[in-house]
Structure formats: structure tokens, C-alpha cells
Amino acid sequence: MAKAIAEAMKSSAISVTVEDVGKFDISLLPNYDRIVLGSPTYFSNVAWQVKKAIDESIVHYRGGKLKGKVAGIFTSAGTSRDGKDCLKMLEVALGLHHGMKVVEGILRVDGESDKEIEKRCQEYGERLAKEIEK
């Protein structure tokens, strides 16, 4: 999903970097104009590596270093309910706490075709690119 979203954003002449959240240096977060964060869903929550990154992002909270930046969110889940819960958690962390402008996320539920998901990721990447260009 991340690669498909990134490719769609790149087609809008936006510079895109895809990082492994487990290896990403959280101190670099404010250097980005926009942040797209995704995770598989486990029991209505994000993977531990994503949770760790969110927790570590607290160093940027006090100075409002992420405030106003565009954020995208996405997840894959076994059920729609669990995925929606996961997206809500990402939205709260990035939107409510960090004051980022969260673009409504996308959810892949088990059983959906790769073709359909790729199309939705493409559309989401294009929507994120337009939001960034505003």
C-alpha cells in the first residue's frame, strides 16, 4: 500500500521518500512537509513499531513542530471494524495531538482484490498530493 500511494504522489512531481518506520530516525520528522503513516492492524491497533514511533514523536509535540503539516494514514485489517479503530488511533495521534491536517485514511480489509486496493491507493496518493499543493 505504501509503495502504491508513494508512486501516485510522485506522479504529481512531489518528492517522496518511503521509510521503514522501525528504522526511521524520529528526530528527522519535522524536516518533512507531509507524513504518510501506515500499519497493519492487530486487535484494532497499530503494529508495535508504529506505536513506538508515535510515542517517540512526543519530542516534537511541545514545540508544535508537526502542526499544520499534511498527514495521510492507511491500514490493512482482517475486519472493517478493527481497521477503522486503527485509523482512528492514527488520526488522534497525528491530528488531535500533533495538530496535523489528516486526510481521511484508507483501509484494506482481507478479501479485497489487489487490483481494487491498488486503485484506491492510487486515488489516495493523488488526493494527498492535491492536499499538499494547496
Per-residue pLDDT reduced to its tens digit, 8-24: 998 887 889 999 999 99
HSE on the CB side for 87, CA within 13 Å? Answer: 20
26 occurs within a structural domain: no
Query: What's the angle, vertex CA 133, arms to CA 33 and CA 99, rounded to 5?
Result: 45
The CA-atom distances, in angstroms, between 43 and each of 2, 32, 35, 76 are: 21, 30, 24, 12
CATH code (residue 102): 3.40.50.360
Which residue range forms the structural domain that includes residue 128? Answer: 2-19+31-133
8 occurs within a structural domain: yes
φ, ψ of residue 61 in degrees (nearest 5): -70, -50
Q: With cut-offs at 50, 70 and 90, classify the pLDDT of residue 134.
A: low
- How many separate domains does the chain show? 1
| Burial degree of 127 (CB within 10 A; 0-12, 13-18, 19+) | middle
The answer to pTM > 0.75 is: yes
